[in-house]
Chain A
Amino acid sequence: MSTRLASGGRLIDRTNPIHFTFNGKQLKGYAGDTLASALLGADQMLVGRSFKYHRPRGIVAAGPEEPNALVNLGDGAFFEPNQRTTVTPLRTGMEAASQNHWPSLDYDVGALNQLIGRALPAGFYYKTFIHPRPFWKHVFEPFIRQSAGLGKAPKDRDGDVYEHLYAFCDVLVVGGGVAGLQAALAAGASGLRVLVLEQWGHWGGRAPVDGAVIGGQSAEDWVKDALDRLDRMENVVLRAQCQASGVYDHGYVLATETVSGHTPGGATPRARLWRIRTKQIIAATGAIERPLSFYGNDVPGVILAGAVRDFVVNWGISPGDRTVVVTNNDDAYRTAICLREAGLAVPAVVDARPEATGALPEKARALGIRVLTGSAIAKVKGKKRVEGVALCLQLGEGAVTEEIACEAVAMSGGWSPVVHLWSHCGGKLVWDDALAMFRPDASRPPLGADGGAMVRTAGTANGVMDTPAVLADAAAAAADAVTAAGGQPADVTAAKAEDEPEAPILPVWIMPQGAGVAMRTKMWLDFQNDVKVSDVQLAAREGYESVEHTKRYTTLGMATDQGKLSNINGLAVLSQSLDKPIPQVGTTTFRPPYTPVPMGAIGGEARGDLFQPLRRTAIHDWHERNGATWEPVGHWRRPYCYLRSGESVHQAVEREVKNTRENVGMLDASTLGKVLVKGPDAGKFLDLIYTNMMSSLKPGRCRYGLICSENGFLMDDGVVARIDDETFLCHTTTGGAERIHAHMEEWLQTEWWDLKVYALNLTEQFAQIAVVGPKARKVLESLGGMDLSREALPFMAWSEGELGGFPVRVYRISFSGELSFELAVPANRGRELWDRLIKAGAEHGVMPYGTEAMHVLRAEKGYIMIGEESDGTIIPQDLGLDWAISKKKADYIGKRAQMRSHMTDPSRWKLVGLETVDGSVLPDGAYAVGQGRNENGQQNAIGRVTSTYHSPTLGRGIAMGLILNGPDRMGEVLEFTKIGGGVVTAKIVGQVFYDPEGEKLDA
């Protein structure tokens, strides 16, 4: 039984009990507990099930590396799966539930998987679910889906709030253990800006737990003292509960600060994402202990030796009355000593090494602890909790020499430095044979913008294990970082610590070394994903020599802990199987994040109304109040149509189209791009930008133009108005304004920088209103002012003047085929003019129309639309726009490309009009059916529909499409595909369905 000790626990406040539930059961912990320590204090050894075999799982670690003790937390909008209990501070009313079991944690049907475990080896899925082919969709996939996934996906919107914050510093110290604090003291003394991040709510790391003595005082006191000194430095910021998760190029670091944690409904954010820019990074991130691979090392109650110490010292937890310690190094003896000093029994330290004569083993022996050298664990007894261990010789094959009853096993296979932050940007590692670990190779660091080292490691993260050396290493790293950040290192001597020498570790990857197959299939490497020693050995036998391939094949290290416990053990087993030294096998790639970052923190404030900025025209509010249904166009919202009560969207569009054709309509055209191009060379420049001639345009006149990319493809279209000799106003599509302005800037700045031209995006400066229809002139003339007669302002002319007291530019341009005036006024007067026109137009039957009516009107007239008729693979020639391509100009962007063989191929699909034989509306995007089949066995296509509408004016379906040799096939009837099968027949016709002579727009 694990339980709470009568005294002890440096982090808990026994006067402040906290009640919480686990799987509905009422439990009690104390303030300062993690959820994990509170569960252990309440004898909750079994906390979850493994992913593949649903084996019982207990808490194995005491920090962020925990692979097993993951829970669902909270409910409703505050529900969150896969929370690591070992780093979750206990809070009042917390509701935790275990994962990955059915129907209950204690009795789980999925655990049957382990009975057929032998039939589910590595690569089982790859090998099994391939044949027969159709089984995948109907049998295998549904089965796998049901058992896939860890935890439950939240169903509600996240009720918590999150925020992003920015920080800038010269030296970022990650880790608030004694190495981090020593580095911060040294860096801080230089006067540079120093930021220190600590993942826990408390400082000092492992040193206070391990009983280090620094500068003649306990580590605990030294840490307090160091924090006081750092607090007094104005250039140093300390931030606890803040996990640095990733290092990115040129000193960019992301960190997640837990603010309110899982306290529902709080006003403070749950978490903050810190976006940090620093010149130098010191990773004082410590080390993670490795498990040992022995039979049954996954049974709940088998815990890392260091974690056992943490639970005893920090939270006053007894993992059980009797704990057997199993190790290959001296450090684990600290656990034995610590347990004994807490009054608990340690029946034996099982040490795989042939002898153990260091100071720590001797101290353990002096306390009366039995030390068994050359020994190993043959088997852990018990299923849902440890009941005892059987021992054997490490050098043997597992013959049991002795059995010991116990409630817990503390294991230590040595320590692996946390090199993640060092490695994220390419820092390399070196294998240290003596310490049996990968540690940072200082000669191959990650590089910053200046080509120098950007990250340094300090202390145990650097593979320096004893406290005096840790402090010296941290001070040295700080001096280097300060110099590299452009500062002057202060003369700081590292604090002196008492040395506690340790004898060398013996690398032990399998216990016992001669274990047979039966034992190896019960030695877990990856506890969460159920990867065993036998799986890695199988992968090696099947030819997976690369550690990256073995990882994917076996799923080793692919669990939520990303191999923090399993990777080194796994690659050591692989290296043994391949008979290659460990450094030759290498590690998998360390990628950010180091620990999971909540999706909400990544999103930050960017959700709901703040997800992205919304662009509103000057007339937006009027649309909103008058029934507009919105269509997003870029960041704009444009009215799709204006619904009247009782009307369907379709009916509204029909009404708007008819009214515009018969009376007069108004369109808010403010979103159309307006780019001013000005300068002595403006005409010359626009001749290069547009396919047709712009330099010959007369002031006061307008011309429709096309813009192509250097690849020849159509990018945008619009009307250009020449304002004066040196000035042109280029209208672009709504979505094209920024793009076309950028396109012009790019060519002006990087190719034709000798041209004297400025380009300026004026889109938002003007409100633009199109007044369209046979009665348009009457409406405008009723306002009084400038001459708008056909003679004074003919089609494709523009004029500046005054209309009803408004300073306006009036463009006689039409995207509908009707008599049309586009009025531009300064944006701040747009709404006023709109209101005036609506009022003045009332007697003429004016109605606003939306983008859908605009589309129908232009399609009836056969006008193309960028993004409908064009898609990035279409050249103007495909659309019959040869008339808008200058033959006279020597050059324009795209001219050469349009001469390439594929572009001049006569079999390119070309634009035509399409009329269904039965008058119905062709499906959008439908393909024209050709003869025969292609090499993939698909029906050949000879064209496709690009725009298709019901025309209210003609009372039938009309469409445009790109058809093979289309213009030469007028009158031919083609078959088009329909969704759901069958075909619909349509005749090839001219694309102008309405007023082909253009009498209306020239009225």
Chain B
Amino acid sequence: MLLIECPYCGVKAEETELAAGGEAHLTRHGPDSAEEAFAAYLFDRLNPKGVHFERWRHVNGCGKWFHCARDTATLEVFGTYSAQTSAPPQTILDAIRARRPDWKPANAPAE
């Protein structure tokens, strides 16, 4: 059962306090988007083995959504950060590279 720190209230929360929200940093596609691009936004996910950026909500706590950088294979948590950003902050990228020097941000958002 994972332990993830909520960046808003600072609580190291049990997984049962949290709700998982899937991949982070998706770009919303609205009414003007093309069929393929919209389908990809709805359904295509990276599902990587390794470093991943995810959305979580501290649902049985402060109620805030936040982002978490995590290794899906080893379950190592590199850090958590605000949900109100469209890309992981530099501190998180540094924390990941410190532990995974070879990591390439394949799932970083295409800005």
Would A745 and B65 be within 8 Å (CB), given that A251-B3, A449-B2 are in contact? Answer: yes
B69 beta carbon closer than 8 Å to chain A: no
The answer to whether B75 touches A249 (Cβ under 8 A) is: yes
Partner of B1, one of A248, A451, A753: A248
Name which of A232-240, A894-902, A972-980 contacts chain B.
A894-902
The answer to whether A746 touches B65 (Cβ under 8 A) is: yes
* A-B Cβ contacts below 8 A, count: 68
The answer to whether A449 touches B75 (Cβ under 8 A) is: yes
How long is the Cα–Cα vector from A896 to B29 in the complex, in angstroms? 8
Would A449 and B3 be within 8 Å (CB), given that A742-B59, A896-B33 are in contact? Answer: yes
Residues of A within 8 A of B38 (CB): 896-897, 900
Residues of A within 8 A of B104 (CB): none
Chain B 13-56 residues near chain A, CB threshold 8 A: 14-15, 21, 28-31, 33, 35, 38-39, 42, 55
B74 beta carbon closer than 8 Å to chain A: yes
Nearest CB of chain A from residue B38's CB, rounded to whole Å: 5
Instruction: From B30, B38, B59, B75, name the one whose CB has the most chain A CB atoms within 10 angstroms.
Output: B75
The answer to whether A250 touches B2 (Cβ under 8 A) is: yes
Q: List 13 A-B contacts (CB under 8 A).
A: A251-B3, A447-B76, A448-B76, A449-B2, A449-B77, A745-B57, A746-B21, A890-B31, A896-B30, A896-B38, A897-B42, A899-B31, A900-B38
B6 beta carbon closer than 8 Å to chain A: no
How long is the Cα–Cα vector from A895 to B76 in the complex, in angstroms? 38
User: Please, which residue of chain B has its CB at the minimum distance from the CB of A745?
Assistant: B63
The answer to whether B3 touches A250 (Cβ under 8 A) is: yes
Residues of A within 8 A of B71 (CB): 451
Q: 0/1 per residue, B70-86, Cβ < 8 Å to A? A: 01001111000001100
A749 beta carbon closer than 8 Å to chain B: yes
How long is the Cα–Cα vector from A742 to B55 in the complex, in angstroms? 14
How long is the Cα–Cα vector from A977 to B28 in the complex, in angstroms? 43
The answer to whether A451 touches B31 (Cβ under 8 A) is: no
A128 beta carbon closer than 8 Å to chain B: no
Contacts A710-B42, A896-B30 known; 18 new A-B pairs at CB < 8 A: A248-B1, A250-B1, A250-B3, A251-B3, A449-B3, A449-B4, A449-B75, A450-B76, A451-B99, A745-B57, A746-B57, A749-B64, A750-B65, A753-B84, A895-B30, A899-B31, A900-B35, A900-B38
Would A249 and B65 be within 8 Å (CB), given that A449-B76, A451-B76, A746-B57 are in contact? Answer: no
The answer to whether B83 touches A749 (Cβ under 8 A) is: yes
How long is the Cα–Cα vector from A89 to B37 in the complex, in angstroms? 66
How long is the Cα–Cα vector from A450 to B2 in the complex, in angstroms? 11
Nearest CB of chain B from residue A890's CB, rounded to whole Å: 7
Chain A 447-469 residues near chain B, CB threshold 8 A: 447-451
Nearest CB of chain B from residue A451's CB, rounded to whole Å: 4
Instruction: From A451, A742, A750, name the one whose CB has the most chain B CB atoms within 10 angstroms.
Output: A750
How long is the Cα–Cα vector from A451 to B76 in the complex, in angstroms? 5
How long is the Cα–Cα vector from A451 to B71 in the complex, in angstroms? 9
How long is the Cα–Cα vector from A745 to B71 in the complex, in angstroms? 27
A985 beta carbon closer than 8 Å to chain B: no
How long is the Cα–Cα vector from A749 to B67 in the complex, in angstroms? 11
The answer to whether B74 touches A749 (Cβ under 8 A) is: no
Nearest CB of chain A from residue B20's CB, rounded to whole Å: 12
The answer to whether A249 touches B30 (Cβ under 8 A) is: no
Nearest CB of chain A from residue B89's CB, rounded to whole Å: 15
Nearest CB of chain B from residue A573's CB, rounded to whole Å: 33
Q: Considering the complex of A and B, which 3 residue pairs feature the smallest CB-CB distances, nearest first? A: A451-B76, A753-B84, A749-B65
Would A891 and B75 be within 8 Å (CB), given that A449-B2, A746-B21 are in contact? Answer: no
Residues of A within 8 A of B65 (CB): 745-746, 749-750
Task: Please give the residue numbers on chain B whose beta carbons come within 8 Å of chain A beta carbons, in ascending order.
Answer: 1-4, 14-15, 21, 28-31, 33, 35, 38-39, 42, 55, 57, 59, 63-65, 71, 74-77, 83-84, 99
User: Please, which residue of chain A has its CB at the minimum distance from the CB of B12?
Assistant: A449
Partner of A250, one of B28, B42, B59, B75: B75
Partner of A896, one of B31, B59, B76: B31
Q: 0/1 per residue, A386-420, Cβ < 8 Å to B? A: 00000000000000000000000000000000000
Residues of B within 8 A of A447 (CB): 74-76
User: Please, which residue of chain A has its CB at the minimum distance from the CB of B65?
Assistant: A749
Residues of A within 8 A of B3 (CB): 250-251, 277, 449
A78 beta carbon closer than 8 Å to chain B: no
How long is the Cα–Cα vector from A250 to B15 in the complex, in angstroms? 10
Would A451 and B74 be within 8 Å (CB), given that A751-B28, A900-B35 are in contact? Answer: yes
Residues of A within 8 A of B84 (CB): 749-750, 753
The answer to whether A750 touches B83 (Cβ under 8 A) is: yes
Residues of B within 8 A of A449 (CB): 2-4, 75-77
Residues of B within 8 A of A901 (CB): 35
Residues of A within 8 A of B33 (CB): 896
A595 beta carbon closer than 8 Å to chain B: no
A953 beta carbon closer than 8 Å to chain B: no
How long is the Cα–Cα vector from A449 to B69 in the complex, in angstroms? 12
Nearest CB of chain A from residue B84's CB, rounded to whole Å: 4
How long is the Cα–Cα vector from A449 to B2 in the complex, in angstroms? 8
Instruction: From B4, B30, B64, B71, name the one whose CB has the most chain A CB atoms within 10 angstroms.
Output: B30
Chain A 857-907 residues near chain B, CB threshold 8 A: 890-891, 895-897, 899-901
The answer to whether A895 touches B77 (Cβ under 8 A) is: no
Residues of A within 8 A of B83 (CB): 749-750, 753
Chain A 236-256 residues near chain B, CB threshold 8 A: 248-252
Nearest CB of chain A from residue B72's CB, rounded to whole Å: 12
A83 beta carbon closer than 8 Å to chain B: no
A711 beta carbon closer than 8 Å to chain B: yes
Residues of A within 8 A of B2 (CB): 249-250, 449
Instruction: From B28, B39, B64, name the one whose CB has the most chain A CB atoms within 10 angstroms.
Output: B28
User: Please, which residue of chain B has its CB at the minimum distance from the CB of A254?
Assistant: B1
Would A711 and B64 be within 8 Å (CB), given that A447-B76, A449-B3, A900-B35 are in contact? Answer: no
How long is the Cα–Cα vector from A900 to B39 in the complex, in angstroms? 9
How long is the Cα–Cα vector from A705 to B78 in the complex, in angstroms? 42
Nearest CB of chain B from residue A749's CB, rounded to whole Å: 4
User: Please, which residue of chain B has its CB at the minimum distance from the CB of A711?
Assistant: B42
Nearest CB of chain A from residue B78's CB, rounded to whole Å: 8
Residues of A within 8 A of B39 (CB): 900
How long is the Cα–Cα vector from A891 to B30 in the complex, in angstroms? 7
How long is the Cα–Cα vector from A891 to B33 in the complex, in angstroms? 11
Chain A 741-779 residues near chain B, CB threshold 8 A: 742, 745-746, 749-751, 753
Instruction: From B29, B31, B55, B77, name the one whose CB has the most chain A CB atoms within 10 angstroms.
Output: B31
Nearest CB of chain A from residue B96's CB, rounded to whole Å: 11
How long is the Cα–Cα vector from A749 to B58 in the complex, in angstroms? 12
User: Please, which residue of chain B has its CB at the minimum distance from the CB of A751?
Assistant: B28
Nearest CB of chain A from residue B33's CB, rounded to whole Å: 6
Residues of B within 8 A of A710 (CB): 42
User: Please, which residue of chain B has its CB at the minimum distance from the CB of A248?
Assistant: B1
Chain A 242-279 residues near chain B, CB threshold 8 A: 248-252, 277
Nearest CB of chain A from residue B61's CB, rounded to whole Å: 13
The answer to whether B1 touches A252 (Cβ under 8 A) is: yes
Nearest CB of chain A from residue B35's CB, rounded to whole Å: 7
How long is the Cα–Cα vector from A711 to B42 in the complex, in angstroms? 7
How long is the Cα–Cα vector from A916 to B21 in the complex, in angstroms? 46
User: Please, which residue of chain A has its CB at the minimum distance from the CB of B19?
Assistant: A742
Residues of B within 8 A of A899 (CB): 31
Chain A 955-976 residues near chain B, CB threshold 8 A: none
Nearest CB of chain B from residue A673's CB, rounded to whole Å: 16
Chain A 412-461 residues near chain B, CB threshold 8 A: 447-451
How long is the Cα–Cα vector from A895 to B75 in the complex, in angstroms? 37
Residues of B within 8 A of A249 (CB): 1-2, 15, 75
Residues of B within 8 A of A252 (CB): 1
Nearest CB of chain B from residue A244's CB, rounded to whole Å: 15
Nearest CB of chain B from residue A853's CB, rounded to whole Å: 35
Residues of B within 8 A of A277 (CB): 3, 14
How long is the Cα–Cα vector from A252 to B14 in the complex, in angstroms? 10
How long is the Cα–Cα vector from A494 to B63 in the complex, in angstroms? 49
Nearest CB of chain A from residue B70's CB, rounded to whole Å: 9
How long is the Cα–Cα vector from A441 to B11 in the complex, in angstroms? 34
